[in-house]
Amino acid sequence: MSPGEMKPEVAQAMADPAKSQYKGIWVYLEHAEKTPAPVSWELIGEARRLAKDLKAEVSAVLLGHDVKAMPEEAFAYGADRVYLVQSPVLRDYRTRPYARVAVELVEKYHPEIFLLGATAQGRDLASTVATKLATGLTADCTSLDIDQETKDLRQTRPAFGGNIMATILCRHRRPQMSTVRPHIMPMPEREEDRHGEVVEDEFQMAEEEVAEKVLTFVRKKTEGIPLEQADIVVSGGRGTGGAEGMDKIRRLAEALGAAVGASRAAVSNGWIGQDHQVGQTGQTVRPKLYIACGISGSIQHLAGMQSSELIVAINKDPKAPIFEASDYGLVGDLHQVVPALTKAFERLIEGQEARP
Protein backbone atom coordinates (compact mmCIF):
# COMPACT_ATOMS: atom_id res chain seq x y z
CA MET A 1 0.00 0.00 0.00
CA SER A 2 1.41 3.39 -0.96
CA PRO A 3 1.29 6.37 1.47
CA GLY A 4 -1.39 7.91 -0.76
CA GLU A 5 -3.66 4.91 -0.21
CA MET A 6 -3.32 4.95 3.59
CA LYS A 7 -5.73 6.61 5.97
CA PRO A 8 -4.26 9.99 7.05
CA GLU A 9 -3.83 8.92 10.68
CA VAL A 10 -1.98 5.73 9.63
CA ALA A 11 0.32 7.62 7.26
CA GLN A 12 1.05 10.20 9.98
CA ALA A 13 1.84 7.48 12.49
CA MET A 14 4.36 5.87 10.13
CA ALA A 15 6.01 9.12 9.09
CA ASP A 16 8.60 11.17 10.94
CA PRO A 17 9.00 8.82 13.94
CA ALA A 18 10.47 11.52 16.21
CA LYS A 19 13.45 12.03 13.92
CA SER A 20 15.16 14.30 16.43
CA GLN A 21 15.82 11.38 18.81
CA TYR A 22 18.04 9.69 16.19
CA LYS A 23 21.70 10.74 16.50
CA GLY A 24 25.04 9.62 15.17
CA ILE A 25 26.39 7.55 12.32
CA TRP A 26 26.87 3.80 12.66
CA VAL A 27 29.09 1.51 10.61
CA TYR A 28 28.67 -2.27 10.68
CA LEU A 29 32.09 -3.82 11.35
CA GLU A 30 32.06 -6.86 9.09
CA HIS A 31 34.47 -9.70 9.69
CA ALA A 32 34.96 -13.34 8.79
CA GLU A 33 36.93 -15.75 10.97
CA LYS A 34 38.00 -12.70 13.05
CA THR A 35 39.49 -10.94 10.00
CA PRO A 36 37.89 -7.51 9.48
CA ALA A 37 36.66 -6.62 6.00
CA PRO A 38 38.58 -3.53 4.75
CA VAL A 39 35.29 -1.98 3.55
CA SER A 40 34.45 -1.43 7.21
CA TRP A 41 37.44 0.91 7.63
CA GLU A 42 36.56 2.66 4.35
CA LEU A 43 33.06 3.30 5.68
CA ILE A 44 34.34 4.58 9.02
CA GLY A 45 36.46 7.09 7.08
CA GLU A 46 33.42 8.14 5.05
CA ALA A 47 31.31 8.37 8.20
CA ARG A 48 33.87 10.75 9.71
CA ARG A 49 33.52 13.01 6.68
CA LEU A 50 29.71 12.99 6.92
CA ALA A 51 29.83 13.51 10.68
CA LYS A 52 31.44 16.93 10.21
CA ASP A 53 28.25 18.19 8.53
CA LEU A 54 26.01 16.65 11.18
CA LYS A 55 28.29 17.43 14.14
CA ALA A 56 27.72 13.80 15.13
CA GLU A 57 29.74 10.92 16.52
CA VAL A 58 30.82 7.85 14.57
CA SER A 59 30.18 4.43 16.07
CA ALA A 60 31.00 0.91 14.91
CA VAL A 61 28.78 -2.10 15.54
CA LEU A 62 30.77 -5.25 16.27
CA LEU A 63 29.01 -8.59 16.65
CA GLY A 64 30.82 -11.90 17.11
CA HIS A 65 32.58 -14.10 19.64
CA ASP A 66 36.03 -13.49 21.12
CA VAL A 67 36.53 -10.33 19.03
CA LYS A 68 37.64 -7.95 21.78
CA ALA A 69 40.80 -6.96 19.85
CA MET A 70 38.86 -5.36 17.01
CA PRO A 71 37.53 -2.21 18.74
CA GLU A 72 41.06 -0.74 18.92
CA GLU A 73 41.32 -1.15 15.14
CA ALA A 74 38.01 0.68 14.71
CA PHE A 75 39.22 3.55 16.90
CA ALA A 76 42.45 3.82 14.89
CA TYR A 77 40.43 4.26 11.70
CA GLY A 78 38.14 6.93 13.18
CA ALA A 79 35.37 5.42 15.32
CA ASP A 80 34.48 7.26 18.53
CA ARG A 81 32.57 4.35 20.04
CA VAL A 82 32.09 0.61 19.47
CA TYR A 83 28.88 -1.19 20.35
CA LEU A 84 30.10 -4.71 21.13
CA VAL A 85 27.91 -7.80 21.46
CA GLN A 86 29.60 -11.17 21.98
CA SER A 87 28.04 -14.61 22.11
CA PRO A 88 28.98 -18.12 20.92
CA VAL A 89 25.84 -17.92 18.76
CA LEU A 90 27.46 -15.00 16.91
CA ARG A 91 30.74 -16.83 16.18
CA ASP A 92 29.91 -17.11 12.45
CA TYR A 93 27.64 -14.82 10.48
CA ARG A 94 24.08 -16.06 10.19
CA THR A 95 21.18 -13.86 9.18
CA ARG A 96 18.71 -14.43 12.00
CA PRO A 97 20.87 -13.87 15.12
CA TYR A 98 22.88 -11.02 13.58
CA ALA A 99 19.74 -9.22 12.37
CA ARG A 100 18.07 -9.67 15.74
CA VAL A 101 21.01 -8.09 17.59
CA ALA A 102 21.33 -5.24 15.10
CA VAL A 103 17.61 -4.41 15.34
CA GLU A 104 17.73 -4.49 19.15
CA LEU A 105 20.72 -2.12 19.15
CA VAL A 106 19.06 0.31 16.73
CA GLU A 107 15.85 0.35 18.78
CA LYS A 108 17.86 1.00 21.95
CA TYR A 109 20.36 3.63 20.77
CA HIS A 110 18.62 5.25 17.73
CA PRO A 111 21.34 5.97 15.15
CA GLU A 112 20.47 8.49 12.44
CA ILE A 113 22.51 6.76 9.70
CA PHE A 114 23.56 3.09 9.42
CA LEU A 115 26.19 2.15 6.80
CA LEU A 116 27.17 -1.37 5.73
CA GLY A 117 29.45 -2.79 3.06
CA ALA A 118 27.78 -3.94 -0.16
CA THR A 119 29.24 -7.42 0.31
CA ALA A 120 27.35 -10.70 0.44
CA GLN A 121 27.17 -10.43 4.23
CA GLY A 122 26.42 -6.70 4.32
CA ARG A 123 23.67 -6.88 1.71
CA ASP A 124 22.01 -9.80 3.49
CA LEU A 125 22.10 -8.12 6.90
CA ALA A 126 21.12 -4.65 5.66
CA SER A 127 18.04 -5.82 3.80
CA THR A 128 16.84 -7.93 6.74
CA VAL A 129 17.39 -5.16 9.30
CA ALA A 130 15.79 -2.48 7.11
CA THR A 131 12.73 -4.68 6.59
CA LYS A 132 12.32 -5.36 10.32
CA LEU A 133 12.73 -1.65 11.13
CA ALA A 134 10.45 -0.58 8.25
CA THR A 135 12.98 1.98 7.11
CA GLY A 136 14.57 2.84 3.78
CA LEU A 137 17.67 1.15 2.37
CA THR A 138 19.68 2.31 -0.65
CA ALA A 139 21.90 -0.46 -2.01
CA ASP A 140 25.26 -0.19 -3.78
CA CYS A 141 25.80 3.53 -3.26
CA THR A 142 28.73 5.17 -5.04
CA SER A 143 28.64 8.48 -3.15
CA LEU A 144 27.12 9.86 0.05
CA ASP A 145 26.56 13.47 1.10
CA ILE A 146 24.53 15.45 3.59
CA ASP A 147 21.80 17.78 2.30
CA GLN A 148 22.86 21.08 3.79
CA GLU A 149 19.27 22.31 4.22
CA THR A 150 17.45 19.26 5.59
CA LYS A 151 20.48 17.33 6.92
CA ASP A 152 19.11 14.20 5.21
CA LEU A 153 21.59 11.70 3.75
CA ARG A 154 21.89 12.00 -0.04
CA GLN A 155 22.53 8.47 -1.33
CA THR A 156 23.68 8.25 -4.95
CA ARG A 157 23.87 5.08 -7.01
CA PRO A 158 23.57 3.98 -10.68
CA ALA A 159 20.01 3.20 -11.76
CA PHE A 160 18.06 1.95 -14.77
CA GLY A 161 20.76 -0.45 -15.91
CA GLY A 162 23.52 2.03 -15.14
CA ASN A 163 22.25 4.62 -17.60
CA ILE A 164 21.65 7.34 -14.99
CA MET A 165 22.86 8.26 -11.51
CA ALA A 166 20.01 8.53 -8.99
CA THR A 167 20.19 10.40 -5.67
CA ILE A 168 17.82 8.87 -3.13
CA LEU A 169 16.54 10.37 0.14
CA CYS A 170 14.90 8.67 3.10
CA ARG A 171 13.00 11.67 4.47
CA HIS A 172 10.54 10.16 6.91
CA ARG A 173 12.09 7.04 8.42
CA ARG A 174 15.12 6.42 10.58
CA PRO A 175 17.80 5.21 10.48
CA GLN A 176 18.76 6.05 6.93
CA MET A 177 20.47 2.88 5.70
CA SER A 178 22.96 2.46 2.85
CA THR A 179 25.25 -0.23 1.55
CA VAL A 180 28.44 0.90 -0.18
CA ARG A 181 30.63 -1.27 -2.38
CA PRO A 182 34.21 -2.07 -1.31
CA HIS A 183 36.91 0.22 -2.78
CA ILE A 184 34.45 3.04 -3.59
CA MET A 185 35.55 5.12 -0.59
CA PRO A 186 39.21 5.81 0.17
CA MET A 187 40.94 3.97 3.00
CA PRO A 188 41.44 6.42 5.92
CA GLU A 189 44.80 6.91 7.55
CA ARG A 190 45.33 4.99 10.77
CA GLU A 191 45.84 7.04 13.93
CA GLU A 192 47.44 4.73 16.46
CA ASP A 193 46.92 7.12 19.38
CA ARG A 194 43.13 7.35 18.87
CA HIS A 195 40.98 5.72 21.53
CA GLY A 196 37.29 5.47 22.18
CA GLU A 197 34.48 4.01 24.24
CA VAL A 198 33.38 0.39 24.16
CA VAL A 199 29.70 -0.20 25.03
CA GLU A 200 29.01 -3.87 25.67
CA ASP A 201 25.48 -5.25 25.39
CA GLU A 202 24.17 -8.68 26.25
CA PHE A 203 22.45 -11.03 23.83
CA GLN A 204 20.23 -13.90 24.84
CA MET A 205 19.67 -16.51 22.14
CA ALA A 206 20.15 -20.25 22.32
CA GLU A 207 21.90 -22.14 19.54
CA GLU A 208 18.79 -24.31 19.23
CA GLU A 209 16.84 -21.24 18.08
CA VAL A 210 19.00 -20.86 14.96
CA ALA A 211 18.01 -23.06 12.03
CA GLU A 212 21.19 -22.51 9.99
CA LYS A 213 24.39 -24.37 10.94
CA VAL A 214 27.85 -23.48 9.59
CA LEU A 215 29.72 -26.69 8.81
CA THR A 216 32.83 -25.36 7.02
CA PHE A 217 34.09 -22.63 4.72
CA VAL A 218 35.24 -23.43 1.16
CA ARG A 219 37.22 -20.64 -0.50
CA LYS A 220 36.53 -19.97 -4.16
CA LYS A 221 39.52 -20.41 -6.49
CA THR A 222 40.17 -17.55 -8.93
CA GLU A 223 42.23 -17.37 -12.13
CA GLY A 224 45.33 -15.17 -11.86
CA ILE A 225 45.57 -12.17 -9.51
CA PRO A 226 42.25 -11.40 -7.77
CA LEU A 227 40.82 -8.10 -9.01
CA GLU A 228 40.23 -6.72 -5.52
CA GLN A 229 43.89 -7.25 -4.54
CA ALA A 230 45.58 -5.94 -7.71
CA ASP A 231 47.61 -2.71 -7.91
CA ILE A 232 47.24 -2.79 -11.71
CA VAL A 233 44.16 -3.88 -13.68
CA VAL A 234 44.04 -4.26 -17.47
CA SER A 235 40.47 -4.51 -18.74
CA GLY A 236 39.00 -5.36 -22.13
CA GLY A 237 35.60 -4.47 -23.50
CA ARG A 238 33.46 -4.86 -26.60
CA GLY A 239 36.28 -3.38 -28.68
CA THR A 240 38.39 -6.51 -28.17
CA GLY A 241 36.03 -8.20 -30.61
CA GLY A 242 36.10 -11.66 -29.04
CA ALA A 243 38.04 -14.22 -27.01
CA GLU A 244 41.11 -13.79 -29.24
CA GLY A 245 41.13 -10.07 -28.52
CA MET A 246 40.86 -10.79 -24.80
CA ASP A 247 44.02 -12.89 -25.09
CA LYS A 248 45.87 -9.69 -26.02
CA ILE A 249 44.54 -8.14 -22.79
CA ARG A 250 45.77 -11.16 -20.81
CA ARG A 251 49.29 -10.92 -22.31
CA LEU A 252 49.55 -7.22 -21.43
CA ALA A 253 48.30 -7.97 -17.91
CA GLU A 254 50.87 -10.76 -17.56
CA ALA A 255 53.68 -8.45 -18.68
CA LEU A 256 52.65 -5.89 -16.05
CA GLY A 257 51.87 -8.37 -13.27
CA ALA A 258 48.29 -7.12 -13.39
CA ALA A 259 44.83 -8.58 -12.91
CA VAL A 260 42.54 -9.01 -15.92
CA GLY A 261 39.26 -7.13 -15.89
CA ALA A 262 36.41 -6.87 -18.36
CA SER A 263 33.34 -4.85 -19.17
CA ARG A 264 29.82 -6.25 -18.98
CA ALA A 265 29.71 -6.51 -22.79
CA ALA A 266 32.78 -8.77 -22.89
CA VAL A 267 31.35 -11.00 -20.16
CA SER A 268 27.85 -11.12 -21.67
CA ASN A 269 29.35 -12.25 -24.98
CA GLY A 270 31.13 -15.11 -23.25
CA TRP A 271 34.64 -13.86 -24.04
CA ILE A 272 35.71 -14.04 -20.38
CA GLY A 273 34.26 -15.24 -17.08
CA GLN A 274 31.96 -13.32 -14.73
CA ASP A 275 34.70 -13.21 -12.07
CA HIS A 276 36.54 -10.62 -14.19
CA GLN A 277 33.65 -8.19 -14.66
CA VAL A 278 34.21 -4.65 -13.40
CA GLY A 279 31.26 -2.31 -12.89
CA GLN A 280 27.92 -1.94 -11.19
CA THR A 281 26.98 -5.58 -11.83
CA GLY A 282 30.52 -6.82 -11.34
CA GLN A 283 33.33 -5.94 -8.95
CA THR A 284 34.50 -2.54 -7.80
CA VAL A 285 38.25 -1.93 -8.03
CA ARG A 286 40.52 0.85 -6.83
CA PRO A 287 44.00 0.00 -8.25
CA LYS A 288 46.96 2.34 -8.65
CA LEU A 289 46.68 1.92 -12.45
CA TYR A 290 43.61 0.97 -14.50
CA ILE A 291 44.03 0.42 -18.26
CA ALA A 292 40.73 0.31 -20.17
CA CYS A 293 41.06 -1.23 -23.63
CA GLY A 294 38.16 -1.05 -26.08
CA ILE A 295 35.74 0.01 -23.33
CA SER A 296 33.29 2.80 -24.19
CA GLY A 297 32.85 4.05 -20.62
CA SER A 298 29.19 3.50 -19.68
CA ILE A 299 28.04 4.72 -16.27
CA GLN A 300 27.67 1.17 -15.03
CA HIS A 301 31.33 0.41 -15.86
CA LEU A 302 32.62 3.71 -14.46
CA ALA A 303 30.82 2.93 -11.19
CA GLY A 304 33.24 0.05 -10.69
CA MET A 305 36.58 1.71 -11.53
CA GLN A 306 36.39 5.51 -11.47
CA SER A 307 38.12 5.66 -8.06
CA SER A 308 41.33 4.20 -9.53
CA GLU A 309 44.38 6.37 -8.86
CA LEU A 310 45.40 6.59 -12.54
CA ILE A 311 43.20 5.68 -15.51
CA VAL A 312 44.53 5.09 -19.04
CA ALA A 313 42.05 4.53 -21.89
CA ILE A 314 42.75 2.97 -25.28
CA ASN A 315 39.92 3.31 -27.81
CA LYS A 316 39.70 4.01 -31.52
CA ASP A 317 36.64 6.25 -31.02
CA PRO A 318 37.90 9.70 -29.96
CA LYS A 319 34.40 10.55 -28.67
CA ALA A 320 34.16 7.53 -26.35
CA PRO A 321 32.96 8.63 -22.85
CA ILE A 322 35.80 6.69 -21.22
CA PHE A 323 38.20 9.49 -22.20
CA GLU A 324 36.30 11.95 -19.99
CA ALA A 325 37.04 9.77 -16.96
CA SER A 326 40.68 9.08 -17.91
CA ASP A 327 43.93 10.73 -16.92
CA TYR A 328 45.56 9.66 -20.20
CA GLY A 329 43.90 8.63 -23.44
CA LEU A 330 45.29 6.89 -26.48
CA VAL A 331 43.14 7.01 -29.66
CA GLY A 332 43.94 3.94 -31.72
CA ASP A 333 43.14 0.34 -32.57
CA LEU A 334 43.75 -1.76 -29.46
CA HIS A 335 44.69 -4.75 -31.65
CA GLN A 336 47.78 -2.79 -32.69
CA VAL A 337 48.35 -0.68 -29.57
CA VAL A 338 48.06 -3.41 -26.91
CA PRO A 339 50.56 -5.86 -28.51
CA ALA A 340 52.99 -2.97 -29.05
CA LEU A 341 52.67 -1.95 -25.39
CA THR A 342 53.12 -5.57 -24.31
CA LYS A 343 56.38 -5.91 -26.27
CA ALA A 344 57.64 -2.57 -24.95
CA PHE A 345 56.96 -3.52 -21.33
CA GLU A 346 58.51 -6.99 -21.81
CA ARG A 347 61.69 -5.45 -23.28
CA LEU A 348 61.81 -2.91 -20.43
CA ILE A 349 61.42 -5.59 -17.76
CA GLU A 350 63.95 -7.93 -19.45
CA GLY A 351 66.41 -5.05 -19.62
CA GLN A 352 66.02 -4.34 -15.93
CA GLU A 353 66.46 -8.00 -15.03
CA ALA A 354 69.61 -8.25 -17.20
CA ARG A 355 71.34 -5.37 -15.39
CA PRO A 356 74.16 -6.48 -13.07
Condensed to tens digits (0 to 9), the pLDDT of residues 173-199 reads 999 999 998 988 999 999 999 999 999
Decide if pLDDT at 238 tops 90: yes
14-71 per-position pLDDT tens digit: 556 577 889 999 999 999 878 899 999 999 999 999 999 999 999 999 999 999 889 9
Quote the crossing angle between the two packed helices 334-354 and 243-256, to the nearest 10°.
30
Q: 116 and 125 in contact (C-beta within 8 Å)? A: yes
pLDDT score, position 243: 93
- Mean of the pLDDT values across residues 106-118? 97
| More reliable by pLDDT, 314 or 68 | 314
pLDDT score, position 11: 47
* Max CA pair span of the chain: 83
pLDDT score, position 2: 47
Share of the chain above pLDDT 90, in %: 76
pLDDT score, position 109: 97
pLDDT score, position 9: 45
Measured CA to CA, the distance from residue 9 to residue 202 in angstroms comes to 37
pLDDT score, position 4: 47
pLDDT score, position 18: 72
Measured CA to CA, the distance from residue 129 to residue 100 in angstroms comes to 8
Q: 112 and 23 in contact (C-beta within 8 Å)? A: yes
User: Alpha helix locations (H) across 135-218?
Assistant: none
199-231 per-position pLDDT tens digit: 999 988 889 999 889 898 887 776 678 888 899
Q: Provide φ and ψ at 82, rounded to 5°.
A: -125, 120
